[in-house]
Amino acid sequence: MATKRRPLHQKLNFRPNTSDNNLEYRGTKPTCEPTSIKETMMLMVLYLCKKSLFFDTNLKVAIYLGTLFLLSLFADFASVPKMYLSRSDNIFNKFFVKFAWGWNLLLLVPFVVFTTYIYCCGQKQRIIKHHLLRICIATFFWWFWTTLFNVVEASFGRCNHRQFGTKGSCLQAGHVWNGFDVSGHTFILIYGSLLLIEETRCMENWDSIKEHLRLENHHRVSRDPSQNLNPLRNLSDPEMHDLQLNYKKYTPYIRGLFITITLFQIMWDVMLVCTMLYYHIMIEKFLGGALAILTWFFTYRMWYVHPKLFPKLPGQGVFKYIKKKGEPQAVPRRRTGSVVNGRGPLFMGRPIYPQQEAAQEESSAQ
């Protein structure tokens, strides 16, 4: 028996009901640009640098203290074979360790300026007060402790010839000044390493800024009415434009500085091991390292984390792009294209569970 043919003007079964007001149609988000081979290699190098620098800092501090005590104690009672790095005139000690703080400043100052200029959107007052001030504070502590070490050695030591009462006159006469010489090298190498690690924390999720820019530009151009969770949503159009230009302009320099900082931090650790093996006694090295760690802990774990004090931690700027560990992620808005008026999920405009839909319509009719 032939059935009645459906009229042609009836809505097709495989199309969703476009008259429903609950359906939202958005433009397709732009896809990322293809990654070149050069960019891929750079990302691999940056990944290795991050693995080296962002090693668990608490564990690294524990390793510093443990090796300072054990390795230095071993060197005091055992004869360590001499090598090129044991000489005080080796190239690394002569041109790098003796000017360690100058090298740190030479790398950190442009790195902090470039990075803060991006995530502070060029606000010079914020850059100086919130970030460059940290470099000034670190330099002050370096000067204070190294000066105090020299004062202690000069005040509580004596010359092997009693006729010379000051350290300067004793050394000029070619004699030996015996005093408690807190290891300034140990302090500088450990404090400098921790400083390099903390100041480069802003590189965590640095590449996510590019993704935020892409999505925020799309959201503003398409005027998507959906909820915007992008960290750049509160920036003005001129700030967005400047951010996009500065990020593209300065990121290559930032990456180069970051790689160089990683190499210097590794060199500081190598020279620290040489200092443990060949210079000073255990108590002098342990005290210098302990003061370096206490200074780092006071500044980066107590002072800078206080919400009402300046300066701030690296990465804290006009917008937030660094996700802390354990921080809940933003829950994406549920798609509404497959659910219409509570009828249940649809596939190509048709209900997946037609029996359930019929039961709901029957209960609503009753």
What residues act catalytically?
185, 280
Provide the CB-side half-sphere exposure for 277 (13 A, CA): 16
Q: What DSSP designation does 88 have?
A: T
Note the residue count of the chain. Answer: 366
Contact 20, 341 (CB under 8 A): yes
Read off the tokens for 331: 């829950």
- Apex 209 CA angle, 208 and 212, nearest 5: 90
Q: Is 346 helix (H, G, I), strand (E, B) or coil?
A: strand
Question: How many angstroms separate the CA atoms of 43 and 40, rounded?
Answer: 5
Which of 106, 105, 188, 179 is CA-nearest to residue 145? 188
Contact 177, 161 (CB under 8 A): no
Contact 205, 321 (CB under 8 A): yes
What is the residue-wise DSSP string for 231-298?
TTTTS-HHHHHHHHHHHHHHHHHHHHHHHHHHHHHHHHHHHHHHHHHHSS-HHHHHHHHHHHHHHHII
Give the phi and the psi of residue 65 in degrees, each rounded to 5: -65, -40
Residue that the structure tokens 């398409």 belong to: 222
Contact 101, 143 (CB under 8 A): no
Helices (H), 21-99: 37-53, 57-77, 91-95
